[in-house]
Structure 1
Amino acid sequence: MLGSYANASDAQLPRKRKRPTISCSECHRRKQKCDRQQPCFHCTRRGKTEICLYEHTAEEYMSYESITTELGTVENASISQIPSDTRPGSEAVIDQLMSRQLGYSSSCSTGTFKIVSQLGEPDRNPATFANSRRNNDAAAQYLGLIREIPHRKYVNILVHSFFTNVAWHYDVIEEAIFRDELSDWDQVSYTALKQGPEYLPVNTRYFPALLLQVLALALLYQPVQYDDILDDLKYAPDIDFSDLASDYSTAGHRIMCMLGSRDMPLSKIQAGLMKACFEKSIGSVIESWHTLGSTIRDAQELGLHQLSPYDANKIASDASKPREVKLRRKLWLVLHLWDAHMAAVLGRPMATRLDPRVVRSTSPPTASPPQDQQEVILSPFDIILCGYHAAFKYLQDIHDLEVTSKIAQETVQKIHNAVVSNISRLPAWASSPSPTLDCKYPWLPAARETLITEVYFVLLALHRPFMSSISTSRVEALKAALQMLESQNRLFSQAGSHMHMSFTLVFATFDAMVLVAATYLGFPNDNLELLPASMKCMQWGLARLDAMRSRNTMAGLAYDVVQALYQKVLSCISLPDPPALYMDGSRNLNRLAQASSGDYPGQEILHITGAMANNKQDLDNPLRQEQLFDLVYQDLLGKSQALKQTDTTVLRQEQCGEPAHDSFWQLMDDLT
């Protein structure tokens, strides 16, 4: 009986693991797939590089793998060759260091290797060997990534292009500071780089991540007539600048992941924001949203969200660096605006909240231009501040709005009246062209149209949930959409071909056109006085998307979808027989230029034929719906101009039904 009990006890003992653990100790403990790097990806991302240790070395694992492959089964494999003592600093590890890294032969009986073996384990901190290996691996990985940075002559061209064509959109990277950091980076010696990134100053070690994102955006927004010397960067016959841009952006992101979030500078926040912008520009909207979320968490780690009410005197007299304090506020505001706009479109929760009191205002708003406009000093960020105080600050309230709430109508009316009032009080340079200032600041015309679209997008987002049940909301949403489309047309005529990659030229146009189509498909007998302008705006929008589709795949997708909706609108409403507008050739671009200089012609209604008739798309196609979902739910900041808002009493509940939720798929189901 005792024997049987003993056998039963033995049977309950856990079986000893017969194969070695190949993951690092942390990945093994957390049951994660380890990439066997030193440090591995997961430990790097979690900032735990110092505890990324392995039970067996890579060489032992490779030897073990070859044995198991030869014998066919793990059970038959002999692991007697694997040293039992593989602790850092043990004799086995010392032997490996000497034979495999220093090159000493283990078979020589009288050489240095034999002497060290006979002396036994040196009196040395055991962690030193592991730390040395980790440093060497990190240095090699870092060197491999920064080799993606091109020669300085190409960098100079691309940096200039970035600050000319791209930087004004968000104005969170100051050119003077960036060039100083670039100069400092050029002074870093190869010897210093070989020691590893941890031996570099914090700002310096993160700078390549920001530089690579800047180069990526500069390449993405290259005009058709670019500097031919940039062709030298192409390493394959069929490669284009967007491919190179993806390479640079990926390398920059890998540097950020490698360095982790410990002791990070503001340049990592800048790099993360530029990465999100790049991903959104190429249509990777979900990836952009996730990148934004990670960047927001990094910013919170640095305390960017802990802002006190704005006090210019306090900031100017701050004992720390005043420029850094201002940059922190700018970064957090832009991150909040990205978060608010993407939440409004994607229907996802917001990760940030912002008290308007912490955001500085621009100069006192006035409807009349200053006496001497030459005295006006502007920066692109002034445009963002104008938009924030006029409309953007209400986005978080709109996102929190419960459509079925009884007080929702009152809230919408208050926000609508406030936005319309703020639009009327915008500074003259922000609301109408100024030859003097437009010449002084080449970025101002495009920034002004961007502001207008963004402001009217707020009104569109405010009224869109109530379109199906409240007639006044339907009218106001339609007017806001038309304002966005007219402003987009002016912006398109001002922007060069390099801006065809811009997501704002696609998503703002697409969002507004879908709303216009939904209005007339759902309520064909309403708003007939706006029908001619609506048809013209849709036709010009289709022309713009068609012109951009050769460089922007998202524009092509948007064109196909809106063209199908436009055909449905034509089939359900009565129109006089209009002249034709063909979608190809220079004709349509000339008409676009004419339309950008003023209002659209009288009551003329242009009917798009030809290419449109040959391009009908099936909206019931699941793949098309998935692509459409990715496209629609990525509207950030749009662009538009002022249409007179005649009725500031917005809401009147009708008896035809409950307010509808702001769901794109519900809308598309209704339309199709």
Structure 2
Amino acid sequence: MNLSNDNKQTRASHRRKRQPVSCQHCRHSKLRCDRQQPCTSCKRRGHESSCSFQPNSGISPSSNNVTRARPRTVGSAATGAQSPVVEPVRNANTPPVLQPELVSDKNQAPPDSDWAAVLERPAPEYDVAAVPDTLSPFSVGRGLSLREILEILPPRSWCDFLVSHFFTHIAALFPILHGPTFQMQYAGFMQNPYEGDLSWLALLFSICSLVLYTMDPNDPKLKGLWPKRSNNPAQELVCLSRRLQQTAMACLSKDQFFIRHKLSTLEALLMVIYNLSHNESVDQGWALLGMALNIGIALRCNVDSQHLSPIETERRRRCWAGLLSLHTYQSILFRDVDMSFLLNIKTTMPADVNDSDITESGISPPSNSHKPTQMSVMISKVRLFRLSTEICHHISGPSRLDPVLSNFDAAIAVEQKHWDDTFLSTQGSPSILDCSYAHWCILQTYAYHLYLLLHRPFHHSQKPCFKPSSRERCIASAATLISIHRQLYEAPLLRNYLFLLNGVTSLKALHAAVALDSCLLDMPEGFDAAPYREELENLLSRMQEFSTRSSVCAKGCRILRHLQARAGSGNRRPQPIDAETQMEGTFEDWTDVREWLDADFINWNLDGTLNLLEFAA
């Protein structure tokens, strides 16, 4: 008995004691804490003197109860109103000093529990890089009057520019809006802004916020947007973008979107979620996505009605397609919910035509059938949703070790061939006449991400199901995904899509980097890893540049620095006693997106081998 306790204490001594992320008041009230002393929330609530990050002394170790999360059912996923399930769950007043003992208990759990734990999304409580409450799009604060809301909106000339930029460069990536309809709504609003639809106004705010976030802060086109330029235009641009996003949520709240739904409510909500996914973090839009799904069902967007005009029918179909594409982010990056239930909802997809082909009298075929339409990317994303849902359902169940991967590999290759035919020139080269090549690159990131997920169980030689071809596939897919990330950063032809590196695309590249490093550490002596290591170093440099604007890149830098340091020290993982059990619980499980986003959970032991992930409990 004494020997066992000594062993536990010895293991605990090597682990870093993580300080509480939030002060006691913020943890108790479930508020976002900026970790100042005293923090902003305590100042606002008059608790400056009692703002403390030390745990309550009256809590005994016996009060620390760890609750294992149960698998989510289809019903809870469909409602989306519940908070994301996080395992393990920590009592808000539990002292962090108890973590090592709980980690030891976890290490004794069966592999299946580890597999369930590593596929969960980040817990909001541990988002140490969160911006202060005043910049959060969900901290709507007191109710704003319509006059106050309109005063926040940029001047008419700037709104014209931002909306035009959106429909020119961004709308094709998420075409839930019918351009001519939006233009009529916009003109009507500008003529009489005080009589406008608040939910539509939320849509306008979200579009302006998204466009500002996508632009280079030193772009001369932004000159004059601020009365006085600051010494930090990048931070100023981010603050303004977040303020507009926050006001979009204030508009929805003022319009009582929790209980009153119309199509503009759904359009605004989808645009807010898309904005969060690409400029903040995918997991932040999860609760809103559940609400949007239920609103879409309530508005019967998945059911055609004979009483609607062709334009109104297509607007609803596009919103439903947008819902599916946003669920694709959730399914391939977190996969803690089986999205298969959405495949069972029968619906008609939007027509693969341009906005000008849709009129009140009907839908005409596109004038040029050999060119991609404004809906081509969305149609491809919907096909991707169906394929990714099937693949993620496969790899999250007992069939994930089925060695027959050829069917899924072939299905991904079919989609890639379809993209080649649609978005590349007849010679197979990038088109310089439009944005088709950018769209091709974006879609390819999904394909190579799916290859990584599909072949992960077979990539390591220490696993009994090891397949050399899967390791080769992982290396090639990871390298290609990182290469696309580099192209989006370097190629002038793709300059308008640099903003994608703030969110989802960098998260995929980070996944690829961890996968590539895992494979390189397993390669036999004599393998030339230098070109791949150089790509990882360049990826770190790019993420460092974006770290001031992107929480994903800021946290990803810490992971990449560790990979770089470990490669430089020549550390290799020792042979585990039980390969299958150990490999399921270590950093080799590079599908653990939660750990990348919550890097404080990990004890980086650079002097020796990499410790097991410390799941905070």
Unaligned runs of 5+ in 2: 1-28, 30-141, 354-366, 573-586, 588-592, 602-608
* 1:251-400 equivalences in 2 (<5 Å): 251-261=247-257, 262-306=259-303, 320-350=308-338, 353-354=342-343, 358-359=348-349, 376-389=370-383, 391-400=384-393
* 1:221-232 equivalences in 2 (<5 Å): 221-223=214-216, 224-232=218-226
Report the CA distance between 1:407 and its aligned residue.
Answer: 7.6
Report the CA distance between 1:209 and its aligned residue.
Answer: 0.7
1:567 maps to amino acid: A
Structure 1, residues 291-313: CA drift from partner, whole Å, max 9, x if none?
A: 22222222122122347xxxxxx
Could you tell me how far apart the structure 2 residues matched to 1:189 and 1:357 are?
A: 36
Question: For the Cα contact (< 8 Å) 1:433–1:445, is it kept in 2?
Answer: no
Structure 1, residues 498-522: CA drift from partner, whole Å, max 9, x if none?
A: 724631442122111111012223x
Question: For the Cα contact (< 8 Å) 2:144–2:250, is it kept in 1?
Answer: no
Report the CA distance between 1:435 and its aligned residue.
Answer: 9.7
In structure 2, do the counterparts of structure 1 residues 384 and 405 end up closer, same or farther at CA, with 3 Å as the change threshold? same
Counterpart position of 1:524:
523
Counterpart position of 1:480:
477
Query: Out of 191, 212, 232, which is 1:187 matched to?
Result: 191
In structure 2, do the counterparts of structure 1 residues 232 and 545 end up closer, same or farther at CA, with 3 Å as the change threshold? closer
In structure 2, do the counterparts of structure 1 residues 476 and 437 end up closer, same or farther at CA, with 3 Å as the change threshold? closer
Counterpart position of 2:211:
218
Counterpart position of 1:628:
596
Counterpart position of 2:407:
414
Counterpart position of 1:242:
238
Report the CA distance between 1:546 and its aligned residue.
Answer: 3.4
2:284 maps to amino acid: E
1:511 maps to amino acid: H
Tell me the TM-score normalized by structure 1.
0.55
Structure 1, residues 146-187: CA drift from partner, whole Å, max 9, x if none?
A: 332222122112212222343232122233322211111122
Could you tell me how far apart the structure 2 residues matched to 1:558 and 1:240 are?
A: 23
Question: For the Cα contact (< 8 Å) 2:282–2:330, is it kept in 1?
Answer: no
1:353 maps to amino acid: L
2:343 maps to amino acid: L
2:542 maps to amino acid: R
Question: For the Cα contact (< 8 Å) 1:395–1:458, is it kept in 2?
Answer: yes
Could you tell me how far apart the structure 1 residues matched to 2:256 and 2:400 are?
A: 46
Could you tell me how far apart the structure 1 residues matched to 2:164 and 2:599 are?
A: 31
Report the CA distance between 1:444 and its aligned residue.
Answer: 1.8
Query: Out of 451, 454, 460, which is 1:459 matched to?
Result: 451
Question: For the Cα contact (< 8 Å) 2:479–2:512, is it kept in 1?
Answer: yes
In structure 2, do the counterparts of structure 1 residues 410 and 159 end up closer, same or farther at CA, with 3 Å as the change threshold? same
- Percent of residue pairs identical: 15
Residue 554 (str. 1) matches residue 552 (str. 2) = yes
Could you tell me how far apart the structure 2 residues matched to 1:421 and 1:452 are?
A: 12
Report the CA distance between 1:424 and its aligned residue.
Answer: 3.5
Tell me the TM-score normalized by structure 2.
0.59
Structure 1, residues 62-101: CA drift from partner, whole Å, max 9, x if none?
A: xxxxxxxxxxxxxxxxxxxxxxxxxxxxxxxxxxxxxxxx
Report the CA distance between 1:358 and its aligned residue.
Answer: 4.3
Report the CA distance between 1:668 and its aligned residue.
Answer: 7.6
Question: For the Cα contact (< 8 Å) 1:222–1:498, is it kept in 2?
Answer: no
Structure 1, residues 572-621: CA drift from partner, whole Å, max 9, x if none?
A: 389xxxxxxxxxxxxxxxxxxxxxxxxxxxxxxxxxxxxxxxxxxxx9xx
Could you tell me how far apart the structure 1 residues matched to 2:520 and 2:397 are?
A: 24
Counterpart position of 1:89:
none
In structure 2, do the counterparts of structure 1 residues 298 and 237 end up closer, same or farther at CA, with 3 Å as the change threshold? farther
Question: For the Cα contact (< 8 Å) 1:517–1:565, is it kept in 2?
Answer: yes
User: Please, what is the CA RMSD of the aligned residues?
Assistant: 3.9
Q: State the structure with bigger RCO (CA 8 A, min sep 6), 1 or 2.
A: 2
Report the CA distance between 1:214 and its aligned residue.
Answer: 0.7
Question: For the Cα contact (< 8 Å) 2:324–2:382, is it kept in 1?
Answer: no
Structure 1, residues 471-491: CA drift from partner, whole Å, max 9, x if none?
A: 233332222212212222222
Report the CA distance between 1:543 and its aligned residue.
Answer: 3.4
Question: For the Cα contact (< 8 Å) 1:438–1:445, is it kept in 2?
Answer: yes
Could you tell me how far apart the structure 2 residues matched to 1:234 and 1:300 are?
A: 46
Which 10-residue stretch deviates more, 476-485 or 318-327? 318-327
Structure 1, residues 344-383: CA drift from partner, whole Å, max 9, x if none?
A: 32232146513698447969xxxxxxxxx98633234313
2:226 maps to amino acid: D
1:331 maps to amino acid: C
Could you tell me how far apart the structure 1 residues matched to 2:610 and 2:374 are?
A: 37
- Structure 1 or 2, whichever has the larger Rg, is 1
Could you tell me how far apart the structure 2 residues matched to 1:304 and 1:414 are?
A: 32
Structure 1, residues 263-285: CA drift from partner, whole Å, max 9, x if none?
A: 53322222112212222344344
In structure 2, do the counterparts of structure 1 residues 419 and 282 end up closer, same or farther at CA, with 3 Å as the change threshold? closer
Could you tell me how far apart the structure 1 residues matched to 2:535 and 2:152 are?
A: 44
Question: For the Cα contact (< 8 Å) 2:327–2:385, is it kept in 1?
Answer: no
Counterpart position of 2:171:
167
Question: For the Cα contact (< 8 Å) 1:171–1:381, is it kept in 2?
Answer: yes
Could you tell me how far apart the structure 1 residues matched to 2:256 and 2:144 are?
A: 16
1:175 maps to amino acid: G
In structure 2, do the counterparts of structure 1 residues 213 and 571 end up closer, same or farther at CA, with 3 Å as the change threshold? same
Counterpart position of 1:156:
160
Could you tell me how far apart the structure 2 residues matched to 1:245 and 1:348 are?
A: 30
Which 10-residue stretch deviates more, 413-422 or 330-339? 413-422
Counterpart position of 1:496:
495
1:283 maps to amino acid: E
Could you tell me how far apart the structure 2 residues matched to 1:433 and 1:158 are?
A: 33
Unaligned runs of 5+ in 1: 1-32, 34-137, 194-199, 308-314, 364-372, 575-618, 620-624, 634-666
1:438 aligns to what SS in structure 2?
coil
In structure 2, do the counterparts of structure 1 residues 626 and 462 end up closer, same or farther at CA, with 3 Å as the change threshold? closer
Counterpart position of 2:562:
564
Could you tell me how far apart the structure 2 residues matched to 1:150 and 1:668 are?
A: 50
2:214 maps to amino acid: Y
In structure 2, do the counterparts of structure 1 residues 343 and 228 end up closer, same or farther at CA, with 3 Å as the change threshold? closer
